[in-house]
Amino acid sequence: MLKLLKNPSLILIFSLLAGVFPQVYVAKYDYPDFLSRLPASSAQKTAYEVWGEMMESSVAFNAKATQVLGSGRRAISWGGEKEGSSSYVTRIFGPSADTFEAIVEGYSMDEEEQVTFLRDFFSRWMNNRAGESIRVWIDEDGVRHDPAQELLDAKGRNKAINMSFLNNFDPQTASHEQLMNKWSEFISKTNNSPYSYLTPGTRRKFFKGEFSSLVDPIDDYYDMVPNLGAPEKYMSEIEDTSVGWEVKFAPQKSYGEFQEMIAWFKKTMGRGGELFQAPGHQRMVVPIGGNFNRSKAAELTKAAQALIVLEGIAGRSGIETADYKSIIDDYEIIEALEDGYETNRGPLRVDDEDRFINNSISIEFRSGTKNSRVARFIQASMASRFSRGDFTGISKADSWNIIGEYSTYPDEDDLVERFGLTRSQAQRAAQKLRRAGLSGYNIALWNWYDDNPMLGDTKKAILKNLTRDYLIDVASLRHTNYENLKKAVISLQREWVKSSNIAEDVKKYMMPARKFSDKENFHKFKPGTRMNVDVNKIDLGVEYSAKFPLKFEGDYAMIEDGSGGYNRQRLMDGKMSWLQTRVDMSPEEKEEYLKKMAVDLRDRLGGEGEPERLFEDGHGHGLDIAYKIKDSKDRSWRIEWDGIGRNYTPSGEVLVESVRAGSIEVVTPKFEPNMDEVQAVYDTFEKNNALPYIKAGGGHLNIDLTAFEGKPKEFARFLATFHEYRSVIAFLFQDLNRIKSAEPVDISEEFAQKLANWNGSEADLKKALYNEGYFNKRVGRKTRYTHLDVSAYFQDVIPPKFISDDFDISNPKVPWRPAFRVNPKIRKAEVRMFNAPRDAYESALQMKLFRAILNKALNKNDEISGEMQSISHEEYLERPDRLIDDLKKMTDDLGLEMREFRPLAGEALSNVEHYTQMKFYKPLADQLTNNPKFTNWERAVRPRGARSAISSEGRAYTGEISPQAREFQRLRIQSAEDSAYNRANAATNLSGLPQLKKKTNCVTAIRDLIGQ
């Protein structure tokens, strides 16, 4: 044995295994202190990479443990609890063998009743016909179950009962003694889980005391055990409560197994196709070492509680009035994390240190768990930061207080001082808030306004004015009934939470920072060999976007949904019927806000001079607000209001009061960007709490095509390479909700193959791209609404009748036309599919990815498959393994590092799953029912030379209006008429509860910040 231990090869093997399969050792109480005998997160992974790994595991159920650095190779474990009263609990728990056997002898049955019961039981249990048998059943998925054929336990062993003991047994003629003997024999063969051998319906009848001559229900939870199979793996025990039962889940070794357990529980306990609720209480147990940053862990926990409350209020969860959910103040959280004490039961609870395992902290999430989107984000953000000890961007817990002195007991002096209310308004507002009794849930009074590190000065100023409006509305309430007053305050506060959009600021604060391996050069492609064409020097232009700090809130026409509720009405053109705006920044406020951003960006880029107000119409509607600034290199940058929401009269006039929402867009010059310039955009966003948002707005990447002049084969390779990976790229960088805005082009497989092996001229390629329809051909959409718009490349061959000025696609009086917006001086490819990159890291990845595609096109001659990848987001959701395989294939082929892109795949999986489960989800085909493809495109013309080049600017469309376009316009006009009718007649408030309305103008407050 000593020789074996000294064998160098064995020592090496053991060392390697120890790095992959960490320790499993004795648990304190029932919680395992382990790091799973499964691959763990590599010690080299950043907190962000662990976060992405956890998001991926939440859908793909990867059993990969999250190791905590500095804890002695231990990992985070997960558990939960769920209360209920439904008899459906018998799907996962049942009485032990002794308890079930006793129902015959111990339930006061006389001999005659025993005979009656056992004859009925065995006759039906021995029946093989589903529907009649109490042993055989067919589930909702059409799967037949027979525990006499197959019944697998948690380890996959077949525990099917052998029915040979019932050969030649006729229960209807058997004596009492024979029946009792068979009963005992049956019980002995059930592996201490009799319910595992009964149909679900039969178990429920036993639970309710409704089976045969059974009188008493079998609902003594104390002696129940998990049924065989998955319940053994996932369930620990069951207890009775004052209203029913509480089940406890077995601790899981990884987040993937934990999420798989939740998915199993929701499906198993559901009925009629409806999923059951997730475990209401979920727990994270984190082993820690001596260097664990307790102060910043407490700060992160403060933020987690705030996010749970914000999301709970916005989602109408009833958290404000729930039992045992009192807000935990800052001091209590800090004391718990720094000194090891247990907090009270609130939206979350910090347990006594070492409660479950030695040298550990544990946090119980007691609210926000039914919403998987919220729960996953919070749990992954906390666990990933805890596991790496990475609290970048997180303040010390005692450096500020989020729950201030007057958060739980409103004080009129505080309301006057902080929010500028009159004394009378403050008195009435404070009195109403105190009477409503929301205590710590007066979240608008939390400290969002002073030292809060999550918000910048601009948002604090805007938010303070919104809170003033909220308090004035509270002061004006006239309810005399306590319950009605509470409902009114809750309704107003809910709208304050939604329109303030603070939840997104808190999420940005909590999410692990993405770390650059080489910040100065992270956006560059590194091929490893010399490049004939340096793709890092090809000029780019980027259109960054972000959302304004206040979120639009308004009323829309509603229709009954058939279940007593209401949904927003969809008009004939597919849009919703706007009635009124209640909360939004006005155009004047947005103009001042954009000017402040322009000043801040100019200063950050080292520029000089005042921002220049631009008066131009870039989208055809004339509502643009834009500023131009110059950087230190005298290059022009533009900051504008984009994606403006608006409504029209049937005659095509903009309803001024309907102009709303939209995004901030920052347009860079055509340049070779460096990372400091990219970071300047995000520093400006952060200073003003402008939040890039993947579900709205985009991040267009413009690529200068000068490098492809006279190189048609290389440009065709560029497109073919993009086609080969376009689905996986879209999954990473294009939210499912945005595909309609940038569709994949629909070209033939034959043409895709030709592009991969192009041997024609540049003129031939341009004609082929146009004739094949390499643009959006749908009525009601613009030709550039594609993944990758290359119309600037083939503009020379577009028939002149299709080149015209941009038009307002939403105006009912402006008919749709087949039109291209081009400029002979601009030769670019525009990547329109990208979400708005949320930070400089994500923007750099987008640049690096397309530089890698450029490199394959310009610097390599290897074979390209010509495959036209066409995999939907929904298909990747069903096959996460295929997504990861495709991602690996792409990064290997292009010379990129997969680890940099994989967290985006994990996040996208979770987002797509959440979106497809929403009741508002519509597949892309359903979204485009009003947008048929226009077919009368004329063929390409001979390439125009420089002297005969055509620009679309100022060029009117003179072609005919097609029947398809006329029909689309008819839908638009009819929708405008219906919308006008709704505005005149529809109720704006079906709930009857008061609605928050913005009253205070923030122009002065924003203007005062300029130059600070």
Helix (H) or strand (E) holding 546: strand 540-547
pLDDT recorded at residue 41: 61
Whether pLDDT at 663 is above 70: yes
Q: Which residue has better confidence, 249 or 33?
A: 249
Say whether 50 sits in a helix, a strand or coil.
helix
Q: What is the pLDDT of residues 741-752, one digit of tens each?
A: 999 999 999 999
CA 864, 866, 870, 875 dihedral sign is: negative
Whether pLDDT at 17 is above 60: no
C-alpha neighbours within 13 Å on the C-beta side of residue 952: 24
Q: Which residue has better confidence, 219 or 966?
A: 966
Q: For residues 465 and 444, is the Cβ–Cβ distance under 8 A?
A: no
Measured CA to CA, the distance from residue 834 to residue 698 in angstroms comes to 6
Q: Which residue has better confidence, 404 or 445?
A: 445
The residues with which 271 forms a beta bridge, in sequence order, are 274
Q: Which two tokens stand for residue 805?
A: 């000025």
Measured CA to CA, the distance from residue 661 to residue 519 in angstroms comes to 34
Q: Kind of pairing, strands 245-249 and 235-240? A: antiparallel
**DSSP state letters, 298-316:** HHHHHHHHHHHHHHHHHTT
Say whether 239 sits in a helix, a strand or coil.
strand
pLDDT recorded at residue 560: 83
1 band by pLDDT with thresholds 50, 70 and 90? very low
User: Mean of the per-residue pLDDT values for the chain?
Assistant: 92
**DSSP state letters, 968-989:** HHHHHHHHHHHHHHHHHHS-S-
pLDDT recorded at residue 691: 94
pLDDT recorded at residue 40: 62
- The secondary structure of residue 832, as a DSSP letter, is -
CA 689, 695, 696, 700 dihedral sign is: positive
Residue with tokens 């009492």: 176
Q: Which two tokens stand for residue 264?
A: 């199993």
Measured CA to CA, the distance from residue 472 to residue 300 in angstroms comes to 33
Q: Which two tokens stand for residue 643?
A: 């994606």
Q: What is the pLDDT of residues 611-653, one digit of tens each?
A: 999 987 666 667 889 999 999 999 999 999 999 999 999 999 9
404 band by pLDDT with thresholds 50, 70 and 90? confident
C-alpha neighbours within 13 Å on the C-beta side of residue 751: 17
Measured CA to CA, the distance from residue 896 to residue 901 in angstroms comes to 9
Enumerate the H helices of 94-133 as residue ranges: 97-105, 111-125
Measured CA to CA, the distance from residue 651 to residue 965 in angstroms comes to 17
> Letter for the amino acid at 684?
T
Question: Per-residue pLDDT averaged across 39-46, rounded?
Answer: 74
pLDDT recorded at residue 647: 93
Count CB atoms within 10 A of the CB of residue 301: 24
Q: For residues 581 and 552, is the Cβ–Cβ distance under 8 A?
A: yes
Measured CA to CA, the distance from residue 431 to residue 446 in angstroms comes to 17
Among candidates 302, 591, 639, 293, which has minimal Cα distance to 454?
A: 302
Measured CA to CA, the distance from residue 642 to residue 662 in angstroms comes to 6
Q: For residues 209 and 81, is the Cβ–Cβ distance under 8 A?
A: no
Q: For residues 343 and 333, is the Cβ–Cβ distance under 8 A?
A: yes
Which residues contact residue 418 at a Cβ distance below 8 angstroms, ignoring those fewer than 6 apart? 449, 464
Q: Which two tokens stand for residue 512?
A: 């692990």
Mark residue 560 as left, alpha or beta (left: phi above 0; alpha: psi -120 to 50; beta: remaining): beta
Which residues contact residue 50 at a Cβ distance below 8 angstroms, ignoring those fewer than 6 apart? 41, 66, 383, 384, 387, 388, 512
Residue with tokens 């829309």: 556
pLDDT recorded at residue 562: 73
Q: What is the pLDDT of residues 148-195, one digit of tens each?
A: 999 999 999 999 999 999 999 999 999 999 999 999 999 999 999 999
Q: Kind of pairing, strands 626-630 and 612-614? A: antiparallel
* E strand intervals along 624-761: 626-630, 636-642, 663-667, 700-704
Measured CA to CA, the distance from residue 916 to residue 873 in angstroms comes to 10
Whether pLDDT at 218 is above 90: no
Q: What is the pLDDT of residues 328-376, one digit of tens each?
A: 999 999 999 999 999 999 999 999 999 999 999 999 999 999 999 999 9
Among candidates 146, 142, 143, which has minimal Cα distance to 133?
A: 146
Q: What is the pLDDT of residues 883-892, one digit of tens each?
A: 999 999 999 9
Question: Per-residue pLDDT averaged across 238-263, rounded?
Answer: 96
Among candidates 384, 382, 408, 383, which has minimal Cα distance to 299?
A: 382
Integer angstrom CA distances of residue 783 from 46, 803, 932: 41, 11, 13
Q: What is the pLDDT of residues 833-882, one digit of tens each?
A: 999 999 999 999 999 999 999 999 999 999 999 999 999 999 999 999 99
pLDDT recorded at residue 312: 97
Q: Which two tokens stand for residue 712?
A: 């048609």
Report residue 427: phi and psi, to 5°. Answer: -60, -45
Q: For residues 297 and 395, is the Cβ–Cβ distance under 8 A?
A: no
Q: Which two tokens stand for residue 246?
A: 């509480």
Q: Kind of pairing, strands 224-226 and 93-95? A: antiparallel
Enumerate the H helices of 270-411 as residue ranges: 294-314, 330-339, 372-388
Whether pLDDT at 123 is above 60: yes
Q: Which two tokens stand for residue 1011?
A: 């130059």
16 band by pLDDT with thresholds 50, 70 and 90? very low
Q: What is the pLDDT of residues 470-495, one digit of tens each?
A: 999 999 999 999 999 999 999 999 99
pLDDT recorded at residue 678: 97
Among candidates 585, 767, 720, which has minimal Cα distance to 661?
A: 585
pLDDT recorded at residue 39: 60
Q: Which two tokens stand for residue 326?
A: 């009192």
Buried b (16+ CB within 10 A) or exposed e, 272-289: eeeebebbbbbbbbbbbe
Measured CA to CA, the distance from residue 762 to residue 767 in angstroms comes to 9
Q: What interhelical angle do 482-500 and 457-475 show, nearest 10? A: 160
pLDDT recorded at residue 619: 62
269 band by pLDDT with thresholds 50, 70 and 90? very high
Measured CA to CA, the distance from residue 31 to residue 574 in angstroms comes to 53
Say whether 582 sits in a helix, a strand or coil.
strand
Angle (CA) 770 772 774, round 5°: 60
pLDDT recorded at residue 819: 96
42 band by pLDDT with thresholds 50, 70 and 90? low
Count CB atoms within 10 A of the CB of residue 709: 10
Q: For residues 39 and 20, is the Cβ–Cβ distance under 8 A?
A: yes
Question: Per-residue pLDDT averaged across 45-57, rounded?
Answer: 97
Integer angstrom CA distances of residue 789 from 282, 828, 830, 865: 47, 9, 5, 22
pLDDT recorded at residue 993: 87
Report residue 242: phi and psi, to 5°. Answer: -65, -20
* CB-neighbour burial class of residue 313 (10 A; exposed 0-12, middle 13-18, buried 19+): buried
C-alpha neighbours within 13 Å on the C-beta side of residue 689: 26
Share of the chain above pLDDT 70, in %: 95
